[in-house]
A and B are shown apart, each in its own frame.
Chain A
């Protein structure tokens, strides 16, 4: 993809994802496994990420958001494509060098209840990445770093010897954030970091992430399905559907001027906590269900549900192009 020449606020490019594909094989047979197909979880995704920005990634369940995040961090080795981080293609990087690069990139997981080992103390959970990457030689140094991290995320440093079950969901998510920050990353993939939390707690974690970004200059890929939250935290937003990005634009531009019918439907479906507005809104109700990524339709992936589908959409795939000022979309309505 032809990148915008200067990034958000004139900042440099931190990450470049080119035509990323992650296909999972479908196999049959018990003794002799043979591949009978593939789940195209991520099927040709391209975008740039600029230093210090937050890119929101939205789309419905199963469209490939988490897989995209994992393939970028090389937690899955991509089937195809490039992930250029600080000038180096991670897909082609291996061994010790990859391990060193990985230190710069961390992940925060969706479920604060499942993602923390219940038998480890908070201190060892937060300190573990330090050991893995051989940082903090002495015990004392390590201890100090862990306490500092707990303070950064707004937890009492005296909590180091406690276990996850002694904490609330919001506090557990803070522990997850502290752990991600342990090795001084510059880039964080936050995979639905607030979805499992109560509404009243969500705002605490979002504020924390915003503060940390400001203080530490972090770059976020923020995966979520709540469009209100995504607009709040993101500078730019990418909308994904069935393994592909269908639209990408600046936050306000996307909400003001959505080009893709899927983005339009998604925005119109977000409930608004005000009965006066809610009772007057016209919703675009999508018919039908999301097709399987093992068997995507011919043509545009959205053609089976699109309220504005045309003949060409069932034949050819639209190209993902820049329609000006970094507003990308893949739709024949605009071609």
Chain B
């Protein structure tokens, strides 16, 4: 698959009263055309700041992209003028945000919010854009779409608002859709609807997706590649099958072990990741996960390991080889859920 996006050494910091927050510490990755890449990691690990930096949507100040390149279709997005970038944003790269209520305008009708983008980016007439808006709402499964065009966001349920956001994201046939935890606030049944919808649309429209989440279950059902972030670093990156079968970073292993699984026999006891999330005010000179890592050796406290290949389609940033460690240790593989 041809490369669509290439991020090189992206580094974003926030200059606050308390000091410099090292939110994203030089991350590099590629997204190919038509591919879904998931970014997972705990709260504060830099997932949102990382993708918002791609299209320069972080508040500056206090934020600043201090280094890096973002290559999309032959140009470095970080070097474009604000005007040039606006033509890319919402058009060829669309973004769905974490909270639909804050990103939908409460005083504009749903229809107007969709048609506005169509008129701006695709030069459609009012007539054309309304017709397209109905199609889009139907595409994302809003019942009676034509009659809901003149409703306001508060008249929709949470799941419907999220689907409207997706419709807006898709309105200009983007090549890349960035979705920041689009289902986190939703119920599992609604989440299943949305995941199903996005998977279908991706096949139909052939776009690439960056899907941010902290739910490793959702990732398994939709991504081809997974990027794991910790403390502003990419600590592991692999093909989806690889990462679940044989994680090579202790943090990924810890995440997989700490969640109870519906498909397996019930664990006697969960295995938590001990300790606290990292303090981003310090630029670590050692592995950022070392304080919580049960595999840590002296070297982990001396230098931060680089992200390096550990196998085909698999990279990890760890000094220790954990490839012999089983993900599921103490569970009988008995009942498999429906």
Q: Of residues A171, A207, A210, A277, which shows the largest number of chain B Cβ atoms within 10 Å of its Cβ?
A: A277
| CB atoms of A273 and B244 under 8 A apart | yes
Judged by a CB distance under 8 angstroms, whether B73 is at the interface is no
Please, what's the 1-or-0 string for A180-210, where 1 marks a CB less than 8 Å from any CB in chain B?
0000000000000000001111111011001
Judged by a CB distance under 8 angstroms, whether B258 is at the interface is yes
Chain B positions 253-276 with a Cβ under 8 Å from a chain A Cβ: 254-256, 258-263, 266-267, 269-274, 276
Chain A positions 234-281 with a Cβ under 8 Å from a chain B Cβ: 251-252, 255-256, 258, 264-279, 281
| CB atoms of B262 and A228 under 8 A apart | yes
Nearest CB of B to A200, in Å: 4
Chain B positions 144-191 with a Cβ under 8 Å from a chain A Cβ: 157-160, 186-191
| CB atoms of B196 and A272 under 8 A apart | no
Which of A258, A273, A283 is close to B259, meaning CB atoms less than 8 Å apart? A273
| CB atoms of B189 and A60 under 8 A apart | yes
Q: Of residues B215, B263, B335, which shows the largest number of chain A Cβ atoms within 10 Å of its Cβ?
A: B263
The complex places the Cα of A61 from the Cα of B337 at a distance, in Å, of 23
Which of B157, B216, B273, B338 is close to A258, meaning CB atoms less than 8 Å apart? B338
**Residues in A whose Cβ lies below 8 Å from that of B123:** none
| CB atoms of B270 and A272 under 8 A apart | no
In the complex where A207-B269, A271-B221 touch, is A61 in contact with B335 (Cβ < 8 A)?
A: no
The complex places the Cα of A38 from the Cα of B29 at a distance, in Å, of 53
**Residues in B whose Cβ lies below 8 Å from that of A251:** 266
The complex places the Cα of A255 from the Cα of B265 at a distance, in Å, of 11
The complex places the Cα of A258 from the Cα of B274 at a distance, in Å, of 35
Chain B positions 221-268 with a Cβ under 8 Å from a chain A Cβ: 221, 240-241, 244, 254-256, 258-263, 266-267
Which of A198, A204, A265, A270 is close to B337, meaning CB atoms less than 8 Å apart? A270
In the complex where A258-B338, A268-B338 touch, is A273 in contact with B192 (Cβ < 8 A)?
A: no
Binds B, one of A82-90, A285-293, A319-327: A285-293
Nearest CB of A to B84, in Å: 38
* Sample of 16 more A-B contacts, CB < 8 Å, known A269-B192, A281-B221: A198-B214, A200-B273, A203-B259, A252-B266, A256-B335, A266-B189, A271-B188, A271-B191, A272-B217, A273-B244, A278-B221, A283-B196, A285-B192, A286-B189, A286-B193, A288-B143
Judged by a CB distance under 8 angstroms, whether B43 is at the interface is yes
| CB atoms of A227 and B267 under 8 A apart | no
**Residues in B whose Cβ lies below 8 Å from that of A206:** 270
Judged by a CB distance under 8 angstroms, whether B220 is at the interface is yes
Judged by a CB distance under 8 angstroms, whether B277 is at the interface is yes
| CB atoms of A285 and B261 under 8 A apart | no
Judged by a CB distance under 8 angstroms, whether A231 is at the interface is yes
Judged by a CB distance under 8 angstroms, whether A225 is at the interface is yes
Closest to A268 in B: B338
The complex places the Cα of A272 from the Cα of B43 at a distance, in Å, of 21
In the complex where A286-B189, A289-B160 touch, is A273 in contact with B240 (Cβ < 8 A)?
A: no
The complex places the Cα of A266 from the Cα of B187 at a distance, in Å, of 9
The complex places the Cα of A148 from the Cα of B54 at a distance, in Å, of 50
| CB atoms of A199 and B255 under 8 A apart | yes
Judged by a CB distance under 8 angstroms, whether A232 is at the interface is yes
The complex places the Cα of A274 from the Cα of B264 at a distance, in Å, of 11
Could you list some 27 contacts between A and B, CB below 8 A? A198-B42, A198-B214, A199-B215, A203-B271, A203-B272, A207-B269, A207-B270, A225-B188, A226-B188, A228-B261, A229-B260, A231-B260, A251-B266, A270-B217, A271-B191, A271-B192, A272-B220, A273-B219, A274-B220, A274-B263, A275-B240, A277-B263, A277-B336, A279-B221, A283-B196, A288-B143, A289-B160
Please, what's the 1-or-0 string for A55-99, where 1 marks a CB less than 8 Å from any CB in chain B?
000001100000000000000000000000000000000000000
Number of interface residues of A (CB under 8 A): 51
Nearest CB of B to A166, in Å: 12
Nearest CB of A to B128, in Å: 29
The complex places the Cα of A213 from the Cα of B328 at a distance, in Å, of 26
The complex places the Cα of A203 from the Cα of B270 at a distance, in Å, of 6
In the complex where A203-B270, A267-B337, A290-B157 touch, is A276 in contact with B241 (Cβ < 8 A)?
A: yes
Closest to B277 in A: A168
The complex places the Cα of A198 from the Cα of B193 at a distance, in Å, of 24
Closest to A205 in B: B272
The complex places the Cα of A61 from the Cα of B219 at a distance, in Å, of 22
**Residues in B whose Cβ lies below 8 Å from that of A227:** 188, 262
In the complex where A272-B263, A274-B220 touch, is A201 in contact with B192 (Cβ < 8 A)?
A: no
Which of B241, B267, B337, B338 is close to A232, meaning CB atoms less than 8 Å apart? B267
**Residues in B whose Cβ lies below 8 Å from that of A170:** 276
The complex places the Cα of A271 from the Cα of B240 at a distance, in Å, of 14
| CB atoms of A198 and B196 under 8 A apart | no
Which of B218, B276, B335 is close to A168, meaning CB atoms less than 8 Å apart? B276
**Residues in A whose Cβ lies below 8 Å from that of B193:** 285-286
| CB atoms of A232 and B160 under 8 A apart | no
The complex places the Cα of A274 from the Cα of B244 at a distance, in Å, of 6
Closest to B40 in A: A199
| CB atoms of A201 and B272 under 8 A apart | yes
**Residues in B whose Cβ lies below 8 Å from that of A283:** 192, 196
In the complex where A60-B189, A268-B338, A290-B157 touch, is A199 in contact with B259 (Cβ < 8 A)?
A: yes
